[in-house]
Amino acid sequence: MVDNDELIKEIEKYAEENKVPIMQKEGISYLTEYVKNNEIKTILEVGTAIGYSAICMALVDSKIKIVSIERDEQRYLEAINNVKKFGLDKRITLIYGDALNTDLDSKFDLIFFDAAKAQNINFFTHFEKNLKNSGTIITDNIYFHGYTFMDEDKIESRNIRGIARKIRNYIKFLDDNKSYTTEIKNIGDGVAVTRRNDVL
Ligand SMILES: C[S@@+](CC[C@H](N)C(=O)[O-])C[C@H]1O[C@@H](n2cnc3c(N)ncnc32)[C@H](O)[C@@H]1O
């Protein structure tokens, strides 16, 4: 029987060969440690791709339940397949659709944004109601491969300049939000950890 480590390596290899953007090793280690150390049991993920990060988080503890949203049909179908290989289909619920058109009632210990980088403010405002009072929002790709804090004149692509600007706007949006405290961690491609401040 193939063990979980082998299956994880197969997904990593498949992602590399097929240019599927999955979390970097350092980022996924941070995320799974966070889940473990903070006894996270319910997670909403925006941006499943082929299920890699959802599977890694679910493997931390058998009590963990995850809802993950993906708008690309091919990737969603691959994620279903991968989740089944690990026997995690009872604990990982995959939703096919645009996250911004997805309305959920449940509340989560952790919300993880790893989808369209330019949409993070919209994801935040859309899903804030789904965060438990003691919950955390984690956002990946804050550095955007170094473009976020690069001098704009040095970025040739207008599209990349636009995304970098939107990520800077997101960082400002988080910093200005007095209900939350955000730390940007120098991990992987940059991870923002946003915690709700205690309500007095
Ligand atoms: C970086 S990948 C996710 C990687 C995954 N979290 C992992 O580490 O295994 C981002 C994914 O988000 C999806 N995505 C982007 N915008 C989305 C949206 N508005 N709603 C749902 N999925 C979205 C993309 O199709 C893409 O597959």
Helices (H), strands (E): how many in the chain? 6, 7
Instruction: Report angle CA 41, 47, 48 to the nearest 5 degrees.
Output: 70
* Cβ neighbours of residue 4 closer than 8 Å, sequence gap 6 or more: 59, 86
**Widest distance between CA atoms in the chain:** 54
Residue type, 104: L
From the CA of 52, give the closest atom in ligand 1. Answer: 9
What kind and span of H or E run contains 119?
none
Pocket of ligand 1, beta carbon within 6 A = 21-23, 47, 49, 52-53, 69-72, 75, 98-100, 114-116, 119
CATH superfamily entry for domain 4-196 = Vaccinia Virus protein VP39 (3.40.50.150)
From the CA of 123, give the closest atom in ligand 1. Answer: 19
Q: Which residue has the tokens 């995850």?
A: 66
What is the 78 CA–ligand 1 centroid distance (Å)? 13
- Which of 97, 184, 146, 47 has the alpha carbon at shortest distance from 66? 47
For ligand 1, mutation pick of 12, 69, 72 (most atoms within 8 Å of CB): 72
**What is the rounded (10 degree) CA torsion for 90, 95, 99, 102?**
-90
Residue 199: predicted pLDDT: 61
Which CA distances in Å does 70 have to 43, 101, 155, 192? 15, 11, 29, 21
What is the 198 CA–ligand 1 centroid distance (Å)? 30
Residue 198: predicted pLDDT: 75
Per the CB < 8 A criterion, the answer to whether 121 and 194 are in contact is: no
Q: Which ranges of the chain does DSSP label H, i.e. alpha helix?
A: 4-17, 25-37, 52-58, 73-85, 120-127, 158-176
pTM for this predicted structure: 0.96
Residue 62: predicted pLDDT: 97
Residue 168: predicted pLDDT: 97
Residue 65: predicted pLDDT: 98
Q: Which residues of the chain have pLDDT under 50?
A: none
